[in-house]
Chains A and B, each alone.
Chain A
Amino acid sequence: MIRIKNLSYSYGKTLVLDKIDITFTRPGIYGILGPNGAGKSTLLKIIGGILNIPAGQVFIEEKDIHSIKHKELATIIAYVPQQFIPNYAFTVRQLLEMGRHPYHGQFDSITKEENELIDYSIKVTELSKLEHNYITELSGGELQRVMIARALVQDTPIIILDEPISHLDIHYQKEIIKLLRNIAIDRNKLIITVLHDMNVGLNYCDYIHLIHDHKVTSGKPKDVLTLEKVKAIYNVDLIKIKHGDSEFIHW
């Protein structure tokens, strides 16, 4: 569980988040939406312990993130960045093994169970053929799946993902979203994902936090992502499409 209380964040003089409150309570998928530059990545980096904030604003499992050691935090939260540019030729498997680092002492090596977990993560992200390729020689979408696989290897109760499907073709978009849903439900994980696709938000998320104008609007997808709100916030004309029980919006 994550509780954010009265959180403000600025880069120098640029205010990004202004006294926002958010809680992520139960397992499930939480969608973070909002226009470019709204502060979605910033919020994720704060939760992931990458950006430092003053004490008393973010609590993970009731503990102030301030007082949680890096290593411990990495066993609670796995972070998939919006962009990762590899410069060194590690193999996919080597990169995945790094996901176990938070659990290891200086002299521990990968155990049999950990190898099985890595094999499993490779399988569900359909990376078997690429296992021994260099991460410097992958396509954008392949690399994105590798980073998601590593979050699975890290095996944390909370996974935060920054636009995890932005580079994926429709096959993998569907598979990854289904995968996230499954692990949220079957393995009781709290999944927070930044998205730009309203329809994924509408149909696959349990809850939405819409960031705009330094503030956040939270609620059930259908209550937050209404045609009027989205039109106003994104300044774009939209139509609503109904198909069975599902609703879609499109420009």
Chain B
Amino acid sequence: MGRKDRKINIGITIVILAIVVIVVASVGNVTIPLNEFFSIIGSKIPIIKGFVNEELIIKSHSIIVLNLRFPRIVLSMFAGFGLAYSGVVYQGVFRNPMAEPYLLGVSSGAALGATLASVFPVSIWFLGFSYTSIMAFFGAILVLYLIFIITNTRKGQTMNILLLAGLAINYFISSIISLFMMFNQDKIDDVYFWTMGSFKTATYEKILVVMIVVVVVIAYTFPLNRKLDIMLLGDEQAKSLGIDVVKTKRKMLVATSLMAAVIVASCGIIGFVGLIIPHLIRLFVGPIHKKLLIHSTLLGGIFLIIADTVARSIIPNKEISVGIITSIFGVPFFVWMLLKNKQRI
């Protein structure tokens, strides 16, 4: 009995990502041919500009591509990268396949923040983020912090305590949100639609912030991938192999939590990406984090780009929340994969 063949290729995944980006660019209420799409993008890039035949470009198409489609594609890609990546890290650090920043407080915290923002409105913008987004960011950070404190004071069987604490806090916060809503029924729609997630509000400023955060966090934590592998063996083992467990965990969690909070602020709550993508990849590549992180990140991007394309184009002239799409298509697929693959995860 030997090792089962668990090979998927990074090159192939990147090529798929590229193809997806290109194909979805032409999909939507208005179909824009690929060569025109590239001409429009090219006309904004300094050196390539000279080679672009501007006559090909229809003005309204140019606006659609530059102001609507392209920002959405890029933002959904980076959000997908970040969500899948932080899912893998959380699952590794907590040695629990259920761990994921959204389940552990980011979603309820962000929803609370958004609720407070709509109940007590102020008109502030920061780097392309609305007041609602900013409140969501701080809500997410606050709730994560709370859950970690609870978990930390109960040392020992950290994993279960963490999930229980996360669950309890989520219920608690849902009730608080409901309470606010009872007295502000006119605001229910706003908050509700915000929480379901959307890339409609993608702007270049937002993209820049999310992109920088995602790239920096990944660059900072990816070199620790081998420590994550070893920490899967348990704290005792990790210590005896020379890992400062507490410090490493803290580093990874703080960085990825921050990333998840920025993403939730940028596009609302898009569930399940951090859970299903890492699991799917794990079925193919096994527990080694180097592969797991790379492939999950790429697939997370692919998945969210496609989900958002479906969200904005499946019903003409009507936009469906992307969070709905990720769950409606993601969950059955995930369950099917779980049933099909009997291998241990």
Contact = CB atoms under 8 A, between A and B. Distances in A.
**Is B truly associated with A?**
yes
Interface of A: 45, 48-50, 69-75, 77-79, 81, 84, 86-91, 94-95, 98-99, 101-102, 104, 106-107, 132-134, 136-137, 154
Interface in B236-259: 236-237, 239-244
Given A50-B239, A74-B241, A133-B2, A90 B288 contact: yes
Given A89-B287, A133-B2, A98 B244 contact: no
A70 B230 contact: no
Contact of A70 (B223, B244, B288): B244
A99 B242 CA distance: 10
B242 A75 contact: yes
Contacts of A45: 236
B240 A71 contact: no
A98 B287 contact: no
Nearest to A106: B223
* Chain A interface helix/strand/loop/mixed: mixed
Given A89-B344, A101-B226, A106-B223, A48 B288 contact: no
Given A50-B236, A84-B233, A89-B287, A70 B2 contact: no
B230 A98 contact: yes
B182 to A, nearest CB: 44
B95 interface: yes
A133 B223 contact: no
Given A81-B237, A133-B3, 12 more contacts: A48-B239, A70-B242, A73-B242, A88-B287, A89-B287, A90-B287, A95-B233, A98-B230, A101-B227, A101-B242, A133-B2, A136-B344
B324 interface: no
B240 A74 contact: yes
A244 to B, nearest CB: 39
Contacts of B227: 101
B103 interface: no
Interface string B65-87: 00000000000000000000000
B226 A104 contact: yes
Contacts of B230: 98, 101
Contact of B233 (A71, A72, A86): A86
Contact of A87 (B95, B224, B236, B241): B95
From B95, B234, B242, B286, residue with most partner A Cβ within 10 Å? B242
A102 B241 CA distance: 6
A48 B286 contact: no
A101 B3 CA distance: 23
A50 B243 CA distance: 11
Nearest to A79: B240
B101 to A, nearest CB: 21
Contacts of A94: 229, 288
Nearest to B239: A50
Interface in B214-231: 223-224, 226-227, 229-230
A99 to B, nearest CB: 7
B232 interface: yes
A89 B2 contact: no
Given A81-B236, A84-B233, A101-B230, A107 B244 contact: no
A107 B287 CA distance: 19
A128 to B, nearest CB: 12
A73 B232 CA distance: 20
Nearest to A77: B240
Contacts of B328: none
B236 A99 contact: no
A137 B2 CA distance: 11
26 contacts: A45-B236, A48-B240, A49-B240, A50-B240, A70-B239, A70-B242, A70-B243, A71-B243, A74-B240, A74-B242, A75-B242, A77-B240, A84-B237, A87-B95, A88-B232, A88-B233, A89-B287, A94-B288, A98-B229, A101-B241, A101-B243, A102-B242, A104-B226, A106-B224, A107-B223, A134-B3
Contacts of A98: 226, 229-230, 233, 241
B12 interface: no
Contacts of B229: 90, 94, 98
Interface string B279-291: 0000000111000
B47 interface: no
Contacts of A99: 241
Contacts of A71: 242-244
Contacts of A101: 226-227, 230, 241-243
B122 interface: no
Contact of B240 (A78, A136, A137): A78
B124 interface: no
B193 to A, nearest CB: 40
B1 interface: yes
B232 A87 contact: yes
A175 B233 CA distance: 27
Nearest to B1: A133
A102 B227 CA distance: 10
From A70, A90, A133, residue with most partner B Cβ within 10 Å? A70
A48 B237 CA distance: 10
A49 B239 contact: yes
